[in-house]
Structure 1
Amino acid sequence: MRRLLVALLLALATPAVAADAPLLTSHLRIHDPFVVAEEESKTYWLFSKNDPAVTGDKRLGIMAYASADLAHWQRPKLVFALPDDNWAKDGGWAPEVHAWKGRWYLFATFHNDRAPIVSTGKRPLYRRATLLAVADRVDGPYTILHKGEPPTPATAMTLDGTLHVDAAGKPWMVYAHEWLQMGVGTIEALPLKDDLSPAGKARLLFRADDAGWVVGQKQPEGDTGYVTDGPQLFRTHTGTLLMLWSSWGKDGYVQAQARSKSGTLAGPWEQLGPLVERDSGHGMLFRTFDGRLMLVLHRPFKRALAKFYEMRDAGDRVEVVREAVELDGEAWPTHGCPMEAQDAGC
């Protein structure tokens, strides 16, 4: 019945919308989704790693889908191509686009497994980091910044950088320091200058094992890895500073949140637990043009889809109101209850 209702809602879209934007959300295979609601054009932009099968462009980079309603999407276009002479040769993970000082800045993670860095353990390590690019329009084209070098040191294996502007108007890059290098992954914050180059040393915010719900992953080398992934900062209507982030729990990938007790990046950070479980995560919050707070994440981890949830700003945390099945076409449980058991009150 629920799927029939969703199909009916989607079918009621105007022919003009369907013709201009023929792709449904359920058609989009996306990891690490990031949405920008561009007010001027009333367009939602959904960014992801470039897929040559859908853009027709084989270059390594970032693509973007456009939509007027979050349910119907235009075919994507390449908005950033990594220069051939860059040290990175793969990746394009976790693209984010932020407005800063009148321009648009792209943050995306790239790597090169043939560019080794010093390892003190059994695991070979290689360069991985968030690179920055800039454009005058949200849909690009984006040009690489800082000669293709990341804000973080070349010896640090990092990923999933996001922009945070503090109460004093100072920019920071918050990112995950890889468990591959750290054993226990961390979330760190790097102060930036106005040109988004580094302005000091990184600061530790918290470790993956600070959260009781995180489950370590046994590795072939004999150790256990604890993952940190996908940070995004959000300030509630009461001024509380929250962070979305993800790791592995007992039932797979988890979307969780943490809260700063001081209201600043300095923390200390307390872990508030999962928001959405059962193989979902790397989400981000944005507001629709009618003012609703939304979460988009990917689910499941393999062959992932973009899934949308309507959220509530509860002041000291955010809460899931419902999955927006009219947008993504399929309902999943938010916690550890199998779909077939929900009607039984699981």
Structure 2
Amino acid sequence: MKKLKTLIFAMLAFVSFGRCSAKEPVQDIKTKRTFTNPVWDGADPWMVKQGEDYIYCWSSNNSINVSRSAKMTKRGEVKKVWQAPSTGWNRACVWAPEIHFIQGRWYVYYAAGESGPPFIHQRTGVLRSATDDVFSDYEDMGVLYTGDNPADPTSNVWAIDMTTLEHKGKLYAIWSGWIKQETTDATQQHLYICEMENPWTMKGKRVKLSSPVESWETGGPLNLNEGPEILKNGDKVFVIYSCRESWLVEYRQGMLQLINPDGNLLDPANWKKSGPVFQGNSQVYGVGHCSFVKSPNDTENWIIYHSKKSTTPGWERDVRIQPFTWNADGTPNFGEAIPAGKSINLPSGEVE
């Protein structure tokens, strides 16, 4: 009996030890499930989640590229969906494309011009996918009218960084533009909104939503409002936008909040401005032009943004991502910009 008890005790100890030992590799794996910023080179990052895929869109060499990946932190299969033509209004300076899934098709909104610098010819164009497959062929739907007299297409006005907002059955475009066409690109930029008849046609006249007037969005050589992006939290609607100068370390993020979701989105008084809501620090310079996605298991919110590679004025930038939370009043809390090289837990549900 004594020997039996000793044997049982030894077996239990072995099983217990085995279970404890089995946990160690799991803990080791968990501690390694991290990444560091930056995730890749580039600027004006646009990412959207569609089902289980992350669709990433960017420009290079006057072309527009799309990537599809199951991971937020790594780009997957890539396809060039559009190349600028050799002639025409959009043959050069292809900037900041965004891809949106609207009414069963993919639409890419991009800025381009006939020449530059100086960058005085920028307008906004739109591409439409042939099917609901993001890698299908794309049709150029032409230039969008972003001026004050829709009856006169020749009166079009400089426009970049267009995004879309679907709200209560209506579609809106929001972008950065000039008050009137100028002969210099050293021109102040404002945010405009217009209802859309369909994803490639404006409906009515534009309305100016925001100008750089607050102390935290002014003070530099050229005050800008640009890069507007939509962020929603339940029935709350926000426009997170970039301000100050994109080539300087002071580049930062401001916010417009829709005051009455049932009210008129074309009434500037229905939008409340606050900021800065996200900015650089001693180790991260000039954060700007964001997009927002959920983690693979939809439990976390993430911001994707670019930052300058150095304090030297210019547009050498890279792409970073980090999680954010919500304040008690439902507004976003982006926290501090996380320095390069610091470990960040992988998005929840992302598999290495």
Structure 2 alignment gaps of length 5 or more: 1-28, 148-153, 281-285, 310-314, 345-352
| Superposed displacement of residue 206, structure 1 | 1.5
Q: Decide which of 208, 218, 233 is 2:212's aligned counterpart.
A: 208
Q: Decide which of 301, 304, 316 is 1:293's aligned counterpart.
A: 301
Query: 1:79 maps to which residue?
Result: 81
CA distance in structure 2 between the aligned counterparts of 1:251 and 1:62, rounded to whole angstroms:
27
| Poorly superposed stretches of 4+, deviation over 4 Å | 5-8, 179-183, 321-325, 328-332
CA distance in structure 1 between the aligned counterparts of 2:77 and 2:40, rounded to whole angstroms:
10
| Superposed displacement of residue 201, structure 1 | 0.6
Query: 2:55 maps to which residue?
Result: 45
Contact kept in structure 2, 1:45 and 1:65, CA below 8 Å: yes
| Superposed displacement of residue 34, structure 1 | 0.5
- The amino acid across from 1:283 in the alignment is C
| Superposed displacement of residue 105, structure 1 | 0.6
Highest Rg: 1 or 2?
2
Deviations 1:290-344 (A, max 9, x none): 112211110126331211121223354111257688xx85479xxxxxxxxxxxx
Pair 1:6–1:34, CA change in 2 (3 A): farther
Q: How does 1:65-104 map to 2 (within 5 A)?
A: 65-74=67-76, 76-104=78-106
Q: How does 1:127-206 map to 2 (within 5 A)?
A: 127-135=121-129, 136=131, 137-145=133-141, 148-153=142-147, 154=154, 155-167=156-168, 169-178=169-178, 181=182, 183-206=187-210
Q: Give the structure-1-normalised TM-score.
A: 0.72
My pick for the range that moved more, 293-302 or 94-103, is 293-302
CA distance in structure 2 between the aligned counterparts of 1:159 and 1:131, rounded to whole angstroms:
9
Contact kept in structure 2, 1:61 and 1:82, CA below 8 Å: yes
SS of residue paired to 1:235: strand
| Superposed displacement of residue 77, structure 1 | 2.8
CA distance in structure 2 between the aligned counterparts of 1:35 and 1:226, rounded to whole angstroms:
27
Q: Decide which of 288, 297, 307 is 2:320's aligned counterpart.
A: 307
| Superposed displacement of residue 202, structure 1 | 0.4
Query: 2:237 maps to which residue?
Result: 241
Query: 2:8 maps to which residue?
Result: none
Query: 1:319 maps to which residue?
Result: 333
CA distance in structure 2 between the aligned counterparts of 1:226 and 1:101, rounded to whole angstroms:
36
CA distance in structure 2 between the aligned counterparts of 1:331 and 1:305, rounded to whole angstroms:
17
CA distance in structure 1 between the aligned counterparts of 2:337 and 2:237, rounded to whole angstroms:
24
| Superposed displacement of residue 91, structure 1 | 2.1
CA distance in structure 2 between the aligned counterparts of 1:200 and 1:311, rounded to whole angstroms:
36
| Superposed displacement of residue 79, structure 1 | 1.8
| Superposed displacement of residue 230, structure 1 | 0.4
Pair 1:331–1:226, CA change in 2 (3 A): farther
Pair 1:289–1:114, CA change in 2 (3 A): closer
CA distance in structure 1 between the aligned counterparts of 2:268 and 2:103, rounded to whole angstroms:
26
CA distance in structure 1 between the aligned counterparts of 2:47 and 2:166, rounded to whole angstroms:
18
CA distance in structure 2 between the aligned counterparts of 1:231 and 1:253, rounded to whole angstroms:
14
RMSD: 3.2
Contact kept in structure 2, 1:258 and 1:272, CA below 8 Å: yes
CA distance in structure 1 between the aligned counterparts of 2:336 and 2:67, rounded to whole angstroms:
24
SS of residue paired to 2:33: helix
Contact kept in structure 2, 1:7 and 1:329, CA below 8 Å: no
Contact kept in structure 1, 2:46 and 2:56, CA below 8 Å: yes
Give the number of aligned pairs.
285
CA distance in structure 1 between the aligned counterparts of 2:123 and 2:162, rounded to whole angstroms:
8
| Superposed displacement of residue 195, structure 1 | 4.7
Query: 1:34 maps to which residue?
Result: 46
Q: How does 1:50-65 map to 2 (within 5 A)?
A: 50-51=60-61, 60-65=62-67
SS of residue paired to 1:198: strand
CA distance in structure 2 between the aligned counterparts of 1:166 and 1:47, rounded to whole angstroms:
23
CA distance in structure 2 between the aligned counterparts of 1:212 and 1:240, rounded to whole angstroms:
26
Contact kept in structure 2, 1:176 and 1:185, CA below 8 Å: yes
Percent identical among aligned pairs is 17
CA distance in structure 1 between the aligned counterparts of 2:119 and 2:106, rounded to whole angstroms:
32
CA distance in structure 1 between the aligned counterparts of 2:119 and 2:38, rounded to whole angstroms:
36
Contact kept in structure 2, 1:257 and 1:271, CA below 8 Å: yes
CA distance in structure 1 between the aligned counterparts of 2:48 and 2:324, rounded to whole angstroms:
17
